Amino acid sequence: MAAAVGAIVMLALMVICSSVHGAGRTLVLLDNMAMKETHSIFFKSLSDRGYDLNFKTADDPSLKLINYGEFLYDHLVIFAPSVYEFGGNVDVAAITNFIDGGGNVLVAASSDIGEPLRDLGAECGIEFDEDKTAVIDHLNYDVADDGQHTLIVANTADIIEAKTVVGEKATSPVLFRGVGMTADPDNPLVLDVMHASSTAYSFYPDENISEYPHAVGKNTLLLAALQARNNARVVFSGSVDLFSDEFFQAPVQKASPGSKKFPLSGNQNLAVALSKWVFREQGVLRVGQVKHHKMGESTPPVAYTVEDDVEFSIVIEKLAGDKWVPFDGDDVQLEFVRIDPFVRTTLKRKGGKFFTQFKLPDVYGVFQFKVDYNRVGYTHLYSATQVSVRPFQHTQFERFIPCAYPYYVSAFSMIAGVFVFSLVYLHHKEERKEKAE
C-alpha cells in the first residue's frame, strides 16, 4: 500500500521534473559521435545552463523533430557540415517547418559542406560557398596555419557591436577555419555577426583563381544570424571548429611580423554568448499590459473625441534568467496611426512601464496606438490597439467665434440704428415756414 503510494508520488515528481526541463530540449546532430568530445567544453556550457542535450548522428534513421503535430525539441544544433542527407524524418523542409514553429537552430558548417546545409542556408537567406572552398586571408592568418592560409584570425573590430548577440566587447581575436557565406545586405532579418577582413576571399585553396570568388572582403560572412518574423532565431557559422575545444583553448597570433600574441582566443566567450542569444535566453522581450484613457479618467471611453488629452501606457519586460524583469530601454516609441502616423513620441519610462500623454489631432477616424520596437538582438515587439475618434458634437463647438465679433457688433448696431432713427424721425416737427402775409 505504502509502496504503491510511494510509486505514484515518484511518478508525479518525475513528470513535474521533466516538465521543468521541457523548455531546454535540444537535439544535437553531429557528423560522428567523436565530436561530442572535440566540442565538449561548448556542450558542457549548454548542459550546465539546463539544456537537455540529445546527441545523434545526422544520418541516424530514427531522427524525428515532430511527432503527432507537436515538436519534440525546442532547439536544434547542427554540427554536421558534411551530412549528405539527414536521416529519419528530418530534411531541410522539416527544419524550416521547425523554425516556423518557433524553434531555434544553431548551424555550423566547414569546408566539407554538404548540400542540405547549403539548402538550409538558402531557405534563410544565407548563401554558403561551394563544397571544398574555404575562406582564405593571406594577411590575417594564424601562426598555427598549415600553409594554405585558411586558419584565419577575425579581428574584434569585425564583430557586430550588439551586447545581446555577442556579449561584451571581445578582447581577443577569434579563430576561424571554414567556409564563407554571403547574404543580401537589404535583407532586414539577417544580421552580420562576424565578417572577414577586407583582405579575405572565399575560394578553393588548391586552385588558381579562375573566376570571381563567391565572397570577397567584408562581404564574406563568417557568422550570420537570422531572427525570423515569429522571433525564432537561427545562427549560421561557417566554421564548426570555431566551437571546438581546440580553438577555445588556443592562443592567437597573426603570422605577420610584430603582431601581438593573445594567450587565449575569444572563441569561447563568443560561442557562449551566441548560444545564449540563439536559444532565447538573452534579448527576449514581451509586452505586458497596455492601457489608454482620457487624462483624469481610468477606463477607456467607448470612443475618443477629437482634440482630447489622452494618456497611454505599456509594460515591457525582459527575460533575465528565468524571471521577467522590467525592460530598461529608452527609445521605445509610440505612433498614433490612421494609415499614416499623426503623432509619434518617445515613451517615458518608470520601472517597466512606458507612458506618455498627448493631445489627439484634429482629425476623426479609426486610429491605432502602435508600438513597433525592432532593435538589433532583441525580439521584435509589435503592439497595436485600435480606437475610434469621433468628431465634435454639435454642442461642443465654440459658441461665439472671436474673429467674427465685428460682424456681430455691426448687426446689432444696425438694429439699434433702426430704433434710434425711427425715434428721431417720428418725433421730428417740421418747421412751418412763416408765410409772409
Which of residues 323 and 399 has its CB atom nearest to other proteins in the complex?
399
**CB of 420: closest distance to other proteins in angstroms?**
8
Helix (H, G, I), strand (E, B) or coil at 68: coil
Between 22 and 391, name the residue whose CB sits nearer to other proteins.
391
Of 261 and 427, the one with the shorter C-beta distance to other proteins is 427
Rounded to whole angstroms, how far apart are CA atoms 6 and 136? 63
Q: Which is nearer to other proteins, 9 or 420 (CB)?
A: 420
> Least distance in Å: CB of 413 to other proteins?
6
Site string for other proteins, 394-433 (x = CB under 8 A): -------x-xx-xxx-xx-xxx-xx--xx-xxx-x-xx--
| Comparison of 4 and 424: residue with beta carbon closer to other proteins | 424
Least distance (Å) between residue 425 CB and other proteins:
6
DSSP 248-282: HT--EEBSSTTPPEESS-SHHHHHHHHHHHHTTSS
**# residues near other proteins by CB under 8 A:** 21
Q: At closest approach, how far in Å is the CB of 365 from other proteins?
A: 24
User: Which grid coordinates belong to 103?
Assistant: 524553434
Closest contact distance (angstroms) between CB of 423 and other proteins is: 11
Residues 6+ apart with CB under 8 A from 178: 81, 108, 109, 110, 111, 134, 135, 222, 237, 238, 239, 240, 241, 242
CB of 364 to other proteins, least distance (A): 21
Q: In this structure, how many other beta carbons lie within 10 angstroms of the beta carbon of residue 213?
A: 19
Query: Which parts of 344-403 interact with other proteins (CB under 8 A)?
Result: 401, 403
Give the count of beta carbons closer than 10 Å to the beta carbon of residue 121: 25
- Of 263 and 406, the one with the shorter C-beta distance to other proteins is 406
CB of 430 to other proteins, least distance (A): 7
Place of cell 428721431: 424
Strands 215-216 and 200-203: antiparallel
Residue closer to other proteins by CB (options 15, 403) is: 403
What is the biggest distance separating any 2 CA atoms in the chain, rounded to whole angstroms? 153
Q: Which is nearer to other proteins, 386 or 422 (CB)?
A: 422
CA 175 to chain centre: 27
Helix (H, G, I), strand (E, B) or coil at 349: strand
C-alpha atoms less than 13 angstroms from C-alpha of 215 in its C-beta half-sphere: 29
Which of 17/423 has CB closer to other proteins?
A: 423
- Please identify which residue in the block is written with the cell numbers 556550457: 45
For the CB of residue 405, give the shortest distance to other proteins in the complex, in Å.
9
Which residues have a Cβ under 8 Å from the Cβ of 304 and sit 6 or more positions away?
Answer: 294, 310, 360, 387, 388, 389, 390
Cβ 161 to other proteins, closest distance in Å? 55
How far, in Å, CA of 276 to CA of 49, rounded?
Answer: 9
Question: How far, in Å, CA of 109 to CA of 117, rounded?
Answer: 7
- State the residues that interact with other proteins by CB under 8 A: 401, 403-404, 406-408, 410-411, 413-415, 417-418, 421-422, 424-426, 428, 430-431
